[in-house]
Chain A
């Protein structure tokens, strides 16, 4: 973990990023619908930090990661990296950047080509980005495997012969093979067992230290987020609720949604749990196909006001590196 400087350098600047999906609806697929998956989000990611993105399922976390990496073409907005706006580049031009911005997916079962050996998987980016001489590739693969804590003999195995944790290590090794600067971890540990989860978290932290990586860490488990991140962003239904340094957000959440999230997390403490007063949110996350007007959260918000119904709260900087979007937050 790096403690960032007073005036940290932004590695990525995301401005007004928007992503809509156009889908077919109706019994015969003859009606059109728009999924507002990402609705004008703006934030910076600083060099060397871990920024976490939390929120409920379907709120657009993955979409954010994918859109930043241009795996989805943004509907609108800029992704500035190294002086270039990735959103305007063609797929060919992007290829060079792809190497530097990598992603580890949620589900280690489906992100490996079942018909390629682990070694091939890892060698592929090395070969295509010419990151090693041809004859050195096997050695490089072994080294990468060692980096993620897998013995070299795993290079000959097929993904289905590995356990979930091992697969996730392979996925990380593959991302590392690109020698990236920036790594999106899209729920990289959610599918894993607790014991394995801890292994991977430790691994990610070690690698960050070793290679000076910057992480966008997407997760829904707040406890994990607290453990790993420098800053935390909370998302609700395609929009950011708040963003700020981890301690600030966890100790003094501003947005009512953040508060509710924190209160819902169970703790391995029977006595505390039995007596704890939770602030349980009522109802479900509304559909992004048809999001509520005004502040998206107003339908479940314990402190909703009249204005929340009609007006989208502004995305405001409230000082201390924190921004929030809520009518009820003063300042």
Chain B
């Protein structure tokens, strides 16, 4: 994709987020740097609890009680979101930035019709009248391919299937033509066939509307056909960042390698033993010294346990970066 020349739409610098745990405050996200260019699709990949959601929520001032941003900047179209007042931030949310959340069941208010929920961004960002908003909502419903269109607007969420709910959620995210759509594991709760529908829908919408997308997932297979670039998170830090083709062709961080290796595949040779990563990620606040992945790493060297590697470009590429002392010296074949 040719998004190189454009100025970044969103630029996150040195973001750090802290949560309160039983053992006191703990940084769950730290030294986070990434950017999204206009129209670009970024995949954010990592295991559960590595801080994917909290990063996005943190930027938008949507953190749950007990969590707070402690450092960094997040510049959206020239404005630092972290410095905005609540009122200004509200303008951004749902206006410039649309959201799609993971669980389409719990993310809808069960006692309001989906129409009432769908028109809200229009009411509060576009100052539309209710009637106009309702009309536009009908269009949105058709846009995301809901059979029946505006007729379903007066349904309650429970009357829709999971897939349809997720479509409505996407419609809601797109209501005000945002320049950025943040999708937090939008298909994890869905069936494969429905997941495929949603993937196709988003691809299609992106082609038509041209917005940038941040797609959070733990499934490396899922985003491969969808995004332009991928960042891999481990324990709250970026461990690898690359263009999508590059990453799958030449995964460099042992963690990425492990992730890819542990994916069972539908095609190709079978009957092999899966290359799993032993152990579990550290809990927040119990980050080991040195590289956080070192305890699980099969390629670790002495240095890994004492010194934390920084994200650095790999030899031969400026756009492929990894945070590893041994990265670049291993290849996919070696890992598999």
A and B touch in the complex (CB under 8 A): yes
Q: Is the CB–CB distance between A202 and B274 below 8 Å?
A: yes
Q: Does B106 contact A (CB under 8 A)?
A: no
Q: Is the CB–CB distance between A260 and B248 below 8 Å?
A: no
Q: Which residues of B contact A199 (CB under 8 A)?
A: 276-278
Q: Is the CB–CB distance between A194 and B219 below 8 Å?
A: yes
Q: Which residues of B contact A90 (CB under 8 A)?
A: none
Q: Does B37 contact A (CB under 8 A)?
A: no
Q: Is the CB–CB distance between B48 and A193 below 8 Å?
A: yes
Q: Does A15 contact B (CB under 8 A)?
A: no
C-alpha gap A271/B226 in the complex (Å): 10
C-alpha gap A193/B279 in the complex (Å): 12
On whether A264 and B248 interact (CB within 8 A), knowing A194-B219, A250-B266, the answer reads: no
Stretch at the interface among A66-74, A138-146, A276-284, A315-323: A276-284
Min CB–CB distance A288 → chain B (angstroms): 12
On whether A274 and B163 interact (CB within 8 A), knowing A268-B263, A280-B200, the answer reads: no
On whether A262 and B191 interact (CB within 8 A), knowing A198-B274, A276-B225, A284-B163, the answer reads: no
Main secondary structure of the interface of A (DSSP, over half): helix
Q: Is the CB–CB distance between A284 and B221 below 8 Å?
A: no
On whether A267 and B195 interact (CB within 8 A), knowing A196-B280, A285-B161, the answer reads: no
Q: Which residues of B contact A224 (CB under 8 A)?
A: 264
On whether A267 and B48 interact (CB within 8 A), knowing A56-B192, A280-B193, A280-B196, the answer reads: no
On whether A271 and B265 interact (CB within 8 A), knowing A202-B274, A266-B221, A280-B196, the answer reads: no
Stretch at the interface among B122-130, B254-262, B301-309, B311-319: B254-262
Q: Which residues of A contact B221 (CB under 8 A)?
A: 223, 265-268
B196: contacting residue among A264, A271, A274, CB under 8 A: A264
Q: Is the CB–CB distance between A165 and B225 below 8 Å?
A: no
Cross-chain pair count, CB within 8 angstroms:
135
Q: Mark B266-284, 1 if CB is under 8 A from A, else 0.
A: 1100110111111010000
Q: Mark B22-57, 1 if CB is under 8 A from A, else 0.
A: 000000000000000000000000011000000000
Q: Mark A244-279, 1 if CB is under 8 A from B, else 0.
A: 000000100000000011111111111111101010
A194: contacting residue among B161, B220, B248, CB under 8 A: B220
Q: Which residues of B contact A285 (CB under 8 A)?
A: 161, 191
Q: Mark A277-308, 1 if CB is under 8 A from B, else 0.
A: 01011111100000000000000000000000
In the complex, which residues 153-171 of chain B have their Cβ closer than 8 Å to any Cβ of chain A? 161-164
Interface size class of B (residues with CB under 8 A): 35 or more
Q: Does B253 contact A (CB under 8 A)?
A: no
Q: Does B197 contact A (CB under 8 A)?
A: yes
Q: Is the CB–CB distance between B192 and A222 below 8 Å?
A: yes
Q: Is the CB–CB distance between B224 and A261 below 8 Å?
A: no
Q: Is the CB–CB distance between B225 and A261 below 8 Å?
A: no
Q: Which residues of B contact A205 (CB under 8 A)?
A: 273
C-alpha gap A282/B163 in the complex (Å): 11
Q: Which residues of B contact A276 (CB under 8 A)?
A: 225
Of all chain A residues, the one with the shortest Cβ separation from B263 is A268
Of all chain A residues, the one with the shortest Cβ separation from B203 is A274
Q: Is the CB–CB distance between A223 and B258 below 8 Å?
A: no
Interface size class of A (residues with CB under 8 A): 35 or more
Q: Which residues of A contact B278 (CB under 8 A)?
A: 199
Q: Does B132 contact A (CB under 8 A)?
A: no
Min CB–CB distance A208 → chain B (angstroms): 13
Min CB–CB distance B294 → chain A (angstroms): 15
On whether A270 and B224 interact (CB within 8 A), knowing A227-B264, A265-B266, the answer reads: yes
Q: Which residues of A contact B265 (CB under 8 A)?
A: 223, 226-227, 267-268
Q: Is the CB–CB distance between B225 and A266 below 8 Å?
A: yes
C-alpha gap A51/B31 in the complex (Å): 47
Q: Which residues of B contact A212 (CB under 8 A)?
A: none
In the complex, the 7 A-B pairs of residues with the closest C-beta atoms, listed nearest first: A273-B225, A198-B262, A198-B276, A264-B196, A227-B264, A284-B161, A198-B274
Q: Which residues of A contact B (CB under 8 A)?
A: 1, 56-57, 163-166, 193-199, 201-202, 205, 220-224, 226-228, 250, 260-274, 276, 278, 280-285
**Further contacts, 5 of them, CB under 8 A, given A198-B261, A199-B277, A226-B264:** A198-B275, A198-B276, A205-B273, A222-B192, A284-B161
Q: Which residues of B contact A (CB under 8 A)?
A: 47-48, 147, 161-164, 191-197, 199-200, 218-222, 224-226, 244-245, 248, 258-267, 270-271, 273-278, 280
